[in-house]
Structure 1
């Protein structure tokens, strides 16, 4: 019954030829537990339950993994302990937690190395290689696969040899060498079909389907995805079932068959939820969000994209992040939120730049490694030649030996100088690339600033002048004609005042656009100007505005700064219009890891529970929410009204 490791990416296994459903095996193991076996048998059963639950429920697998760890430590059984670590490493791999997966594999590796378990070490090398493949360390992955393959070929273990060849095919798929990937994985499937290894066919057929999909052969891709689902269903592999349905759904989505795609995504979701894998859930949600964007369901898509963005940023799945950012740009474009579009355009540009730099660093490291390897090979070959020469001539001519030693030393010095020169050249190229990237970023920012200035000039020169013309025209009408109609006179005055207030708001907007960053000190000056105008209208109201000196240089984007300004302006206007206060106080101060903004008056309050809140308060609440803050209002007829705003402190 004892098993080894099998993941989505063809880890090493040794399972009976006739595959059994994982749930049936689990039920049998639990019956054995009820028979109260001895301590060693109990620990072994816990280890088996960890492995088989990894295919259908991650939480249960980790639960029994914990029990197996405790029991094997009590027994001080290093062989069992190594197996338990390997099983837990498999569970974390399926969950998508590669850090914990690698940690457990290395713990197993350490034990097996002490025990000189060559076969066990070969299996762990294969499993570690799968982690390297998932984290895009393809060179390390290939080296570990080949090391494991060398052992299994030497002992003529055909089953494990075929599994590793399938994994090597997967590396070729990642490197976009599709003909080689097709050759390796096809040969593996022939062997597995011949021996009816359904457990392995579940994964191999899924991988071959991926190869055909990248080759744009959707007919064969669908054929092998269907084979994979059937094999996975036979052995109860929830992860394989979920991945198969998910991949078929992606093809249906590309074929514009949204109804079929959504139905298949639901099947994938059901299998994935039973498995409870964080990585599978994030991949599924991302695919679902992309499908929702295709169907113009932007609000639903945005929620899923924001959830998956957080996961992929934390786990650094850069390829998935690129898809996420591109989809968010589309969503916010359709939702007409240009600031959010700009935000994710910037994040995508930064990510692309990081990947480009990472690729350049990786290529440089590979060149350096290749150089070092070639240097070592030359030294080894030279040393062999020198040894042969010494064996033949050491007794004849000691002087020749000395000359050869001097020549060797000279060659080493030359090699070192060449290496040093190459290293300096590589470093210079890296610095040049970084400088070019920085210059390109600065040029992009300068272009954006120029566009902002151009728009603000257009607003000032065109709309501003038109509003001024309206004010002038209204005033000319009033002075040119003796208007006896009081209503008409009031209407004209209202138009003039509205145009004047619009000009003030336009100037505020232009001010915000001309500043890429706004500080509390900038806001304080702007709000003081607004309060001075408010005093002209309400001379009997005493205004008090205070900003803690430690916050004056806190910076906001132009949009965030404008939202804060408009919120404070709206709060003061509401107080003047409706509360008839004697004092209006504005206070901005630090509060632990936040910034507290309070606007309160001693005027006539109102019953919040009994009063319908107007658009002004709703707008204030939305502005603060867009800024990432919290908005709260309290009011009472005896004490006045108080608005509290809490902003996160960077």
Structure 2
């Protein structure tokens, strides 16, 4: 039975809306407590708790409070709290997908806990580090970290954590195609969970065990555990697990040529998956359904499904899945007699293959070296054989001169041909090696540029950010340390503190833009929401609405373009709140012809555009938009408020 593409279920559960709402309640309560000026220890703990709760709803805010928590814990010299905070910050970066910073924070927590001889804390951090290594396909260090954690959990007879760690090890072994060992680890996990009636955990483990059996071509056991997984997932209401289980059963039925059964299970999978909001899950389902359509020669339906999955795979940079997708599109387009589409996807596949080749340069270089050495040995062996043949011909020379000459000539022709062939292969290998070296050099240059950008942003954050924070602290200390009777001096100090705080926020926005090579409208929406949340602290009654057409959310801008758009919208909102005294602000982003139109409308008191002199804020807005080849128009009246309209080219 040929291999079936599987959906490995690594993480089944997400945070629901109820948890998010509860997190917001906790955040509000913590902020109120913070305003009551608690002692230093409690302040640091509140910042730590805010980091944790914000990590579920706004990671930028989580990192902000994480930074404050680290500062406070360092002042206290509380190593226990400090280790916990660094772990929490590492978790926030993991959620953001920033594995480099996540690893750095976990390693800092690891050092602190090692000094405190906190063995349980070290084991948990090893699990977290192993997850980072696994995400970045560094399977050897991932396995080492998991095994170290497992050793501790087994030594302390912590069966539950030991079981979780064994399951993670089994998944890595499954990815490494060591199916026998994967079977042993995951089977032990399933037995433990069945013994303790851990239905929620069995939902995942049975699915993974079914995947192992399927890779070992044991479809009977695979179906058995897929059914167990569906049963457990149904009991706990895990729709993603139900969908994956039915989907894998359907793929087996497809391979068994049981099309009717396969369609029934695909429908069950679809019904469960429609209750989720996962683009990738839908893409995986649609791709398997497309394969079923190809089997039944429904090529038009198959192409429609393949085109929808292609977009999701391209967005997620899932190159392995894209390879199979492009191949399927080539086949379907061929059956539909669409030569242009065939050529298009052949070219797309070629570009993708080249990209994947570059990503595996080290491996490819090693393979080429091995191949070169093997061919070199073969060449020497052939040469040796030729010499033996020549010696044998000389011994038979007395029998017939003509035969000897004929055999010698024939042998020489073979040798010349082989040498020529070997030389041609060698030249081709050298060309490939040169191309690979050029590609590596290009990648290294790009990496160095990215490192420089990150270094600059870190310097801005660590140096200028800390200096501004020092200014704020110094001003606040002066205000609280001295009873200032002069109201003008007190106002001046407050203005300095507020200006420094605003500068820190703008610095953080600049660092955010520098750390992103491209910025989507959805990123801008999140950033604007964070800005508005901070603005609401000063003016809670303001109503804010941000709308983006679904088709535009994936549009990307360069960091400069994104920053200019963000600053312009930010300035417009600032003007509406500060000068127009607006109670309602609406941002609407939509597509009009070949342009992207951003409209900011408020219900403020407005102004007469022909009777006032434009300030630096509006002039800066116009300059920013013109710098990115856009147009901006500002209309305002004393009755209806102000409208700012920005037009940008889509391309």
Question: Which category of TM-score, normalised to the shorter sequence, fits these structures?
Answer: 0.3 to 0.5
Question: TM-score w.r.t. structure 2 length?
Answer: 0.44
